[in-house]
Amino acid sequence: MKRAKLKLTGLLLLVSIAGIVNAQEADQINVVTSAVPFLRISPDARSGGMGDVGVATTPDASSGFWNLAKTPFNTSQAGICLTYTPWLKDLGLNDVNLITAGGYYKLDEMQAVTASIRYFNLGNIQFTDFLGNELGSFRPREFSIDAGYSRKLSSKLGIGIALRYINSRLASGDPNNSGTSYKPGSSVAGDLSLFHTGVKDNGEGLNYGIALTNLGSKIAYTNDASQKDYIPANLGLGVAYTKVMDEANKLTFALDVHKLLVPTPPVATGVEETDQANLEKYRTQGVVSSWFKSFGDAPGGFKEELREFQISAGAEYWYNNQFALRGGYFYEHPTKGNRKYFSLGAGLKYNNFGLNFSYLLPSGNGTNRNPLSNTLRFSLVFDFDGTAGSTTTPTTTK
């Protein structure tokens, strides 16, 4: 029973993606939330070791998860990656995890196609009534399937577009005899991305990218149309600079800034009629209009809007293109979720195989405990023409 409660707690933490923290009275907690937040978990160990940066880093087999427009700049003809991420491992749960797989194939030097899948397994949850009587068990699970196409517009600029199907099965029927019947939720979304590389033939230079991800319909878990939830549409901006010190040593610094394109929830006023009207207005916004309104709907004005930006910073050092060390930091404002953590990572490449590892240093406490604290994630990368994708460098004209 204790383990079941831990799993249910983990599920609620995942759905909210928010920690409860002590804040000054003037800084009211108002977290922007969405359904299917598993789409926001870092899907590969390389980026996970760099504080979850990936919009403008050098392309690899995981590029489709971060910025599809990077894919045609891979030096390899094709590549695949497989990542395993334990979830809530620090709480002793062994059957909750995220598995991702992705790959690409270059049709020619100008264009590429990609495909990927994410599968989030929440283990087994035992439902009980208020007296503790067992009502049955259920295995929540979520997944998404992607297909994408990307193309170079020039030797330095590329664009990408992807289509995604999302399925979320968190409950079935009426497990708590509450009178509400639950069903699997589904949604269709798309990604649009741009990538520019200034990297020279020696591997040194500046990259930047823009990625609009999860632009799609709301998702519903009941037949009540008024209870549909937003999916985590996101704007990502990234920049990365690589410095080549000599033939054996190079160092990359990267910075990502992310903003959820999801409406900010209304703040409770204590007046029932006003709160109900505000909540209805929040839930009934059109999907497209909500993306634009998300830049100016925070109750606290521009100051609060700035707090909704998340920042990731990371570094990657490679020795002789065989051994890598990584580090990074992720920051989210205390009133908007309070996720703050350092991460470490390492990489190993041999011929056409690559292994990446990442570790999230313990952060948070109590309900704000990061689900990935003390968790080791790993990725296997395979390149079809002998150059492991985790360190590919785009070749451009000087």
d(CA 13, CA 364): 13
| DSSP-derived 3-state class of residue 200 | coil
Q: How many CB atoms lie within 10 A of CB 194?
A: 19
Q: Which two tokens stand for residue 387?
A: 């150059």
AA letter at 387:
T
Q: Please report, to the nearest 10 degrees, the dihedral formed by the alpha carbons of residues 163, 211, 104, 371 taken in order.
A: -90
φ and ψ at residue 147, rounded to 5 degrees: -140, 135
Q: What is the pLDDT along the chain (398 residues), one digit of tens a residue?
A: 334 444 443 444 444 433 333 333 346 888 999 999 999 999 999 999 999 999 999 999 999 999 999 999 999 999 999 999 998 877 777 888 999 999 999 999 999 999 999 999 988 877 666 666 666 677 889 999 999 999 999 999 999 999 999 999 987 766 555 666 778 899 999 999 999 999 988 889 999 999 999 999 999 988 776 788 999 999 999 999 999 999 999 999 999 999 999 999 988 888 888 888 888 888 888 999 999 999 999 988 999 999 999 999 999 999 999 999 999 999 999 999 888 999 999 999 998 899 999 999 876 665 566 788 888 899 999 998 844 444 444 444 44
Cα separation of 123 and 4, whole Å? 9
Beta bridge partners of 91: none
Residue carrying the six token digits 């299917």: 36
Distance, CA of 152 to CA of 58 (rounded, Å): 15
Instruction: Spell out where 154-248 has E strands.
Output: 157-169, 185-197, 205-216, 234-244
What's the gap between Cα 355 and its chain centre?
Answer: 20
Query: Could you tell me the domains of the chain?
Result: 2-391 (2.40.160.40)
Query: Residue 178: its pLDDT value, please?
Result: 61
- Give the DSSP letter string of 56-111: SSPP-TTHHHH-GGGGGG-SSSEEEEEEEEESSGGGT-SS-EEEEEEEEEESSSSE
Q: How many Å apart are CA 140 and CA 120, to the nearest integer?
A: 9
**CB neighbour list of residue 386: distance below 8 Å, 6 or more residues apart:** 76, 351, 352
Angle at the Cα of 315 from the Cα atoms of 191 and 13, rounded to 5 degrees: 55
DSSP secondary structure string for all residues of 149-179: EEEESSSSEEEEEEEEEEEEE---B-TT-SS
The closest alpha carbon to 336, from 28, 88, 11, 10, belongs to 28
Q: Look at the block and give the residue holding tokens 């100008």.
A: 110
**With 0-12 CB in 10 A as exposed, 13-18 as middle and 19+ as buried, what is 38?**
buried
- Distance CA(383)–CA(385), nearest Å, equals 6
Residue whose C-alpha is closest to residue 189's, from 159, 171, 168: 168
